[in-house]
Structure formats: C-alpha cells, structure tokens
Structure 1
Amino acid sequence: MEDNKYLRAKKKVEELKAFYIHLIVFILVNTMFIIINVLTYEEAGHWWFVYPLMGWGIGLAAHGLSVSSFGIFGPNWEDRKIKEYMDKDTSDD
C-alpha cells in the first residue's frame, strides 16, 4: 500500500516538474520572440509575436490543468476509471 502511494506521489512530482520546465521554456522563448519582433518591427509591420504566444499559451494552460488536482480529471480519476473498466470486464482471459 505504501509503495502505491509512493509511486503515485513520484509520478505527480515528475508531472509537475515537466510542467515547470514547459513554463520556463515558454517564458524564455516567447521573451525572445518579443525582443525579435520589437527589433524588427519596421520590417515586419505588425506584432506577430502574439500568435505563438497565444497558441502556445493555450497548450501551456492545458498542461497546467492536466497537472493540477482540480479540473476534469481530479486527483484519483485514473484509479477510478481503471476500477470502473475492471468491474465492467466480464471476459475470462
């Protein structure tokens, strides 16, 4: 039982770490895009950095929701779904 708790906690920490790395890369790359766009605005004629910022921002928000303990999946969603499918399975493999 303790092993299961440890493995679930470790998985959660790994998911959170991956989100933090994603967040840091998002900030660094989009800061670079903003700087490039500001420096080349005369040539570009518009603020194009908002497109990758918005698109990637949506992906980052989805990643954050998947890591958080609230939202559609919740803290024990995976365990509940596995139990549900096991209870429905009537085959004798």
Structure 2
Amino acid sequence: MDNLHEKKLQKAKQKVEEIKKFYKHVITYVLVNLFLTFVWTFSFKIFGDLVFSNQYNSEGFKHIPFWLVWGIFLLFDALKTFGFITFFDKKWEEKKIEEYMKESDNL
C-alpha cells in the first residue's frame, strides 16, 4: 500500500512540474511578444517567400506574425499539459522504455 501511495505522489509531483513549465511558457510568450511587437520590429525569411514578422501597418500584419506561430505551439503545449493530447506522453515513454528493455534482453 505504501508503494502505491509513493507512485501516486510521484505522478502528482510530475504533473505539477508540467503545469509549472506550461505557465512559465505562457509568461515567456506574453513578455517576449510584447517586447517584439512594441520595441523591436523584425522580420526573417524561412522558406522562399514565407516571412515571419511582427511588423504591421494600417491594413494589418505585413507577414505571418511571429506571435501566431509561437501561439500555435503554445496551444499544443497546453493541450499536452492538460491531457487533451496523449501522443508521446509519460505512458507512451514508459511503454517504449519497457519495449526496448525487453528487446535488449533478447540480444
């Protein structure tokens, strides 16, 4: 019974750490994008005519806004953190580790 409690405690601590990392990601996202939008105007090309920029004029953004691209990654991070995306989660990691350990035993 004590071992079960220890496992639950460990999983709870891991979940709290994941949530803390996510909130740090959100704060970084907001602060960096505020800085980039109001203080530093920049643009850079990735592939051909694909340009990321936080520069805007009266018609809107000239190029794909950096905050939008980063925001998409932030959204996926939120979905993973709060359990909506289960690809490559801890259970998947544990399963793969066990699989590779069994494979190495067979060698």
Name the TM tier (shorter chain): 0.5 to 0.7
Unaligned ranges ≥5, structure 1? 39-43
Q: CA deviation at 1:70?
A: 2.6
Give the counterpart letter for 1:63 in structure 2.
D
Cα RMSD between the aligned structures?
3.0
Pairing partner for 2:37 from 13, 17, 34 = 34
Task: Give the stretch that moved more between structures: 55-64 or 69-78.
Answer: 69-78
Unaligned ranges ≥5, structure 2? 42-54
Give aligned pairs, total: 86
Which residue in 1 is equivalent to 2:25? 22
1:22 touches 1:60 (CA, 8 Å); kept in 2? yes
Matched, 1:70 2:73: no
Cα gap change, 1:29 to 1:49, in 2 (>3 Å): farther
Deviations 1:21-67 (A, max 9, x none): 000000011111221368xxxxx675468521011111111111110
Cα gap change, 1:17 to 1:60, in 2 (>3 Å): same
TM-score by length of 2: 0.56
User: SS of the counterpart of 1:69?
Assistant: coil
Give the counterpart letter for 2:79 in structure 1.
L
Q: CA deviation at 1:69?
A: 2.1
Cα gap change, 1:67 to 1:23, in 2 (>3 Å): same
- Structure with the bigger RCO (C-alpha within 8 Å, sep 6+) is 1
Cα gap change, 1:78 to 1:45, in 2 (>3 Å): closer
Give the counterpart letter for 1:14 in structure 2.
E
Q: What is the percent sequence identity of the aligned residues?
A: 35
Cα gap change, 1:48 to 1:84, in 2 (>3 Å): same
TM-score by length of 1: 0.63
